[in-house]
Amino acid sequence: MELLHVGLAALGAGLAVLGAGVGVGKIGGSAMDAIARQPEASGKIQTAMIIAAALVEGVALFGVVAALLGVLTT
């Protein structure tokens, strides 16, 4: 039963990371496109990219921490 808990928590963490991976990937890809189109604005694009990626990553980390909470409280 405990193994199932841990397994589900790990799965949840994995799913959260999967979503964040797709999100951050898209952000990075779009930023690359934008920089290729407007190399002179690369500084601003990078800052915006990092902020957006950090926000997405934050949500994923919420998921991971929730999963960790699940593991540690069983």
Q: Which stretch binds another protein (CB under 8 A): 1-9, 19-27, 29-37, 53-61?
A: 53-61
State yes or no: residue 58 binds another protein (CB under 8 A).
yes
- Alpha-carbon dihedral sign for residues 40, 41, 46, 49: negative
Decide: 20 and 65 in contact? Cβ < 8 Å: no
State yes or no: residue 3 binds another protein (CB under 8 A).
no
State yes or no: residue 41 binds another protein (CB under 8 A).
no
Q: How many residues bind another protein (CB under 8 A)?
A: 17
Give residues in contact with another protein (CB under 8 A): 43, 47, 50-51, 54-55, 57-59, 61-62, 64-65, 68-69, 72-73
